[in-house]
């Protein structure tokens, strides 16, 4: 079979999977099949559509209960959540934060909001998330002993104040090893778990290993509030302080306007949280459905030379976006063109962060795996299958 025939077979399979012989198939569409309209109407009727209301509190409680986090703080989006989480981890202007070059730009942008600078460390090929081996190798070679609270980068003289790994496409990285390295070198870990609601590593939900973790509820995520994010932490006192900061640090009072810290207007409106509550009620179904989609892909690609990117040992992925590994960049580009011209939406993995103009001067380690994956990974349509199909 020629490569062109392989491409035709893949597109045909996707159309059968989604029971759509013609027309556009998106990468990941939101699904509203529960109480969304009911709760939105209730929210509108109550007039509490802004940052105060019962749905905000309920949404936080549901996510905390589901993930096992002791505290969940809802925000207007995942990038704001990352920004605030890094601040709470102790990142300051002029510091450096270790992250991965293979990530969505929000990860690096949030570091930049503080005036800190990212250092890009390679990923593991099987998880697409930060490599503990690459992290340890870089730290041993690049930090110098210091009496400061955080290690110092030999080449820049800057404090390294946080490690920010990302769980790529919902596949957990080796987060326990990263946490252990962070503890060894006295660097707190913030988890970018934006894509991984419903993913577990060694039986523990992503975003609950580090000092802080972050989720996203953007329109293309497993569940959505239109836009939105969440900070997870097991430090209740810290969580309460973060909640205070997201509300402009306003001291409660019946009428006075008094504020005790630089605050942030990062509160999620109640009307968005109403969507979140309805979506959380259906989350178990969505996750089961998406595992079914992944299983279909796994079986299909088992008989092809193109590799399906599967969850690895000790992990349970939410399979937010299913991915395949092509032979090289040329084959990747050929399939991207063919599938999109045939109205089946596919996308490459992100351009590596250090290749973007604003991050071109950032320090990197050996990033061979990231370069390899950048040339080969494609995301396939991964929406929940309509229950009537």
**Partners of 99 in the β-ladder:** 120, 164
pLDDT given at position 389: 43
347 part of a folded domain: yes
Query: What is the CATH classification number for the domain harbouring 88?
Result: 3.40.640.10
pLDDT given at position 136: 97
Query: What is the CATH classification number for the domain harbouring 374?
Result: 3.90.1150.10
d(CA 57, CA 277): 10
227 part of a folded domain: yes
pLDDT given at position 148: 64
Final residue belonging to a domain, choices 254, 281, 308:
281
Greatest CA separation found in the chain?
Answer: 74
- Looking at the fold, whether 48 and 174 belong to one and the same domain comes out as yes
Final residue belonging to a domain, choices 230, 251, 281:
281
**Partners of 232 in the β-ladder:** 72, 213
Q: What is the mean pLDDT of residues 260-278?
A: 95
Burial class, 24, CB count within 10 angstroms (exposed 0-12 / middle 13-18 / buried 19+): exposed
- Looking at the fold, whether 162 and 19 belong to one and the same domain comes out as no
386 part of a folded domain: no
Sequential DSSP letters for 252-316: P-SS---BSS---B-PPPHHHHHHHHHHHHTHHHHHHHHHHHHHHHHHHHTTSSSEE----TTEE
User: Under 8 Å CB-to-CB from 120, ≥6 apart: which residues?
Assistant: 99, 100, 101, 352, 353, 354, 359, 362, 363, 364, 365, 367, 370
pLDDT value at 161 more than 50: yes
- Looking at the fold, whether 18 and 127 belong to one and the same domain comes out as no
pLDDT given at position 59: 97
- Looking at the fold, whether 165 and 101 belong to one and the same domain comes out as yes
pLDDT band for position 150 (cuts 50, 70, 90): confident
- Looking at the fold, whether 277 and 287 belong to one and the same domain comes out as no
pLDDT digits (tens, 9 = 90+) for 6-64: 999 999 999 999 999 999 999 999 999 999 999 999 999 999 888 788 999 999 999 99
- Looking at the fold, whether 224 and 271 belong to one and the same domain comes out as yes
pLDDT given at position 332: 97
Q: What is the mean pLDDT of residues 178-203?
A: 97
* Number of independent structural domains in the chain: 2
pLDDT given at position 274: 97
- Looking at the fold, whether 53 and 169 belong to one and the same domain comes out as yes
385 part of a folded domain: no
Percent residues over pLDDT 70 in the chain: 98
How many of the other CB atoms lie within 10 Å of CB of 5?
Answer: 9
- Looking at the fold, whether 61 and 81 belong to one and the same domain comes out as yes
Q: Give which of 232, 208, 230 is closest to 218, Cα–Cα.
A: 230
The mean of the pLDDT values for the chain is: 95
387 part of a folded domain: no
Least confident of 191-195, 255-259, 283-287, 329-333: 255-259
Please check whether residue 73 is in contact with residue 235, taking contact to mean a CB–CB distance below 8 angstroms: no
pLDDT band for position 91 (cuts 50, 70, 90): very high
- Looking at the fold, whether 236 and 267 belong to one and the same domain comes out as yes
- Looking at the fold, whether 46 and 108 belong to one and the same domain comes out as yes
Please check whether residue 348 is in contact with residue 338, taking contact to mean a CB–CB distance below 8 angstroms: no
pLDDT given at position 149: 74
pLDDT band for position 387 (cuts 50, 70, 90): low
pTM of the model: 0.95
pLDDT digits (tens, 9 = 90+) for 323-341: 999 999 999 999 999 999 9
pLDDT value at 180 more than 90: yes
384 part of a folded domain: no
pLDDT given at position 50: 84
Final residue belonging to a domain, choices 234, 249, 281:
281
Our measurement of the distance from residue 369's CA atom to the centroid of its chain's CA atoms, rounded to an integer in Å, reads 20
What domain range includes position 296?
A: 3-31+283-379
């Amino acid at each position: 079979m020629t490569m062109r025939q392989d491409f035709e077979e893949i597109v045909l399979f996707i159309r059968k999977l989604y029971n759509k012989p013609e027309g556009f198939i998106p990468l990941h569409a939101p699904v509203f099949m529960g109480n969304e309209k009911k709760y939105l109407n209730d929210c509108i009727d109550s007039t509490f559509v802004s940052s105060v209301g019962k749905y905000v509190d309920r949404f936080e409680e549901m996510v905390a209960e589901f993930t096992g986090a002791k505290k969940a703080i809802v925000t207007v989006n995942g990038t704001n959540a990352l920004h605030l989480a890094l601040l709470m981890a102790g990142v300051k202007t002029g510091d450096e934060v270790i992250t991965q070059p293979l990530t969505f730009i929000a990860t690096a942008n949030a570091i930049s909001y503080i005036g800190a600078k990212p250092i890009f460390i390679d990923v593991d090929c099987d998880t697409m998330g930060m490599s503990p081996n690459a992290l340890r190798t870089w730290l041993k070679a690049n930090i110098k002993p210091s009496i400061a609270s955080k290690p110092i980068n030999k080449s820049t003289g800057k404090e390294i104040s946080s490690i920010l790994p990302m769980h790529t496409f919902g596949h957990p990285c080796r987060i326990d090893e990263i946490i252990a390295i962070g503890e060894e070198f006295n660097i707190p870990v913030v988890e970018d778990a934006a894509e991984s609601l419903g993913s577990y590593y060694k039986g523990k939900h992503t975003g609950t290993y580090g000092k802080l973790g972050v989720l996203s509820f953007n329109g293309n995520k497993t569940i959505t509030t239109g836009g939105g994010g969440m900070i997870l932490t097991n430090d209740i006192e810290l969580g309460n302080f973060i909640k205070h900061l997201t509300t402009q640090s306003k001291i409660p009072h019946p009428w006075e306007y008094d504020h005790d810290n630089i605050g942030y207007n990062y509160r999620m409106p109640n009307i968005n949280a109403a969507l979140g509550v309805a979506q959380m009620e259906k989350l178990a179904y969505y996750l089961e459905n998406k595992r079914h989609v992944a299983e279909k892909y796994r079986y299909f690609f088992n008989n092809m030379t193109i590799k399906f990117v599967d969850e690895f040992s000790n992990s349970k992925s939410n399979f937010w976006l299913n991915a395949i590994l092509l032979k090289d960049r040329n084959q990747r580009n050929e399939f991207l063109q063919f599938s999109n011209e045939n109205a089946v939406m596919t996308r490459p993995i992100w351009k590596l962060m250090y290749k973007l103009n604003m991050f071109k001067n950032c320090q990197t380690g050996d990033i061979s795996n990231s370069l390899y994956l950048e040339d080969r990974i494609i995301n396939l349509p991964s929406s929940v299958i309509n229950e009537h199909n």
